Amino acid sequence: MKYPAKLTKDEDGFVITFRDIPEAITQGDTHNEAIEMAEDALLTAMEFYFEDNRQVPLPSKPKKDEVLINLPISVAVKVMLLNTLLEKRITQAELAKLMGIRPQQVTRIVNLDHTTKIDTVEKAFRALDRELDIAIAMA
C-alpha cells in the first residue's frame, strides 16, 4: 500500500504532505531525510485512525508531482482489517466470537505495535467472509 505525497521545497528543506492522510505532515533537511520522515509520519497517522476506530482512507492514484510512500505490509493488512470491521459494523468482541478466540487476542491483532502472524490476520478476514490475497508487483 503506497500513499501519494507531495514534496515541497522551502527555506528549511523539504515538507511532505499526504492528501489522503491529512494528519501526516513532516519535513526533512534533505530529500532523502524527508522521505524517511514521511514513512514515520504515515505510520504515526495510522495510529490515530486505530485509536479513534476510524476508517482509514485508502491511497488514491498519484499525481505526476507526487512521490509514493510505502506503508509496511504488516500495517497495510491491519488497515484493511480495521476498515473491514468498520464497514461490516463488527466489534472486536464480535470478531473474537467469530474466530473462537478471546477478545484480548483480537485487540492484539488490530494493534499496530503488536507483531501478528499473517496466518492469524488471514483467519480474521476469513471470519469476516473476506479473503486475504497477496500479490507481487514489479517495482
Whether the pLDDT of residue 41 is over 90: the answer is: yes
Cβ(92)–Cβ(106) under 8 Å? Answer: yes
pLDDT for res 135: 82
| 54: Cβ contacts below 8 Å, ≥ 6 apart | 48, 86
pLDDT digits (tens, 9 = 90+) for 63-113: 999 999 999 999 999 999 999 999 999 999 999 999 999 999 999 999 999
Cβ(132)–Cβ(122) under 8 Å? Answer: yes
CATH number of 2-70: 3.30.160.250
